Structures are given as structure tokens and as C-alpha cells.
Amino acid sequence: MLYIADFTFTTGTEEDGSVGHFTCLVEADNIEGAEQKLSSLVLAAHAKQDLFQPGTNVYLHDILEVEKLPESGIMAHYTEMDLSGETSANWPLPYPEDFDGSCYSAHGDEEDCGPDHDHEHDHEAEDIEPFIVIPEKA
């Protein structure tokens, strides 16, 4: 199965830090295998491409499991921000009728994804544990 994962990351301090967003695609037999591959992929990006500073917190938000890609395709994720850059909406999109798969939220259970669920991604307010904290390079 294919798994599309939505991440954000924070680095630095409130005064001089930054926040970012990225999406990954992996193939695995199940959700646990997908999480392992996603972790390896993010750590490899740091090791080989200098994409993240050491100490960067990487947060996994949602994983979309695609058993069969619909002929019409899918829109995998939706993020809306106001003009100041504050996120006001962030979720996997509703799927076409012929979608065969599931959505897993890092903040809840399977199918706890989409516009009908509360997806505030304020890491400090929710006290969310990072999926990965980027280590120093060896």
C-alpha cells in the first residue's frame, strides 16, 4: 500500500526560529511499516541533504493509506493560512467516491481526519510529542 504523510517541523527559538511543512510518500505492508520507513526517510534527508538543523522537532500529523489509487486521482492534503501565515485549516481532503483507503491522525484514531475534526496544530498548546527530533550528525 502507499502511504502519504503530512509533517510540520519547528527549529530554533520563538525569536529566531522557523516552521515548515513537507509531505512524504512511502510504500509499506501496514501503518507500522510506513511509520518506520517515514522515520528513516526523514533522518536520511537530514544526513544526506542537510535539510534539518540538529534539534529540529518534526511532527507527524496525518497519514493517508491508499490501497488503490482512484482513476480520478486524489487531493492528498489541504492547508489554509491567513495572510499573517497562521494556519487556519490543515487536513487530508475528503476523498472521491472510489477512494479505497484510510486516514490515520497522529492526534486520534483511524478515520480521525478531515474537515469535520478539530485539527489545530499548535504544538505548544497540545503538548504534542515530536515524531522525530533531528540528532547531531555523526
Q: Where are the alpha helices (DSSP H) in 22-99?
A: 31-49
Q: Using 50, 70 and 90 to split pLDDT, how confident is the model at 122?
A: very low
Q: Cell numbers at residue 28, please?
A: 509499506
The per-residue pLDDT for range 49-83, each reduced to its tens digit, is: 878 889 999 999 888 888 888 888 877 777 776 77
The pair phi, psi for residue 30, each rounded to 5°, is: -155, 175
What is this structure's pTM? 0.76
Taking the C-alpha atoms of residue 65 and residue 60, their distance in angstroms, rounded to an integer, is 14
Q: Tell me, what's the pLDDT at 124?
A: 44
Whether 21 has a pLDDT exceeding 80, the answer reads yes
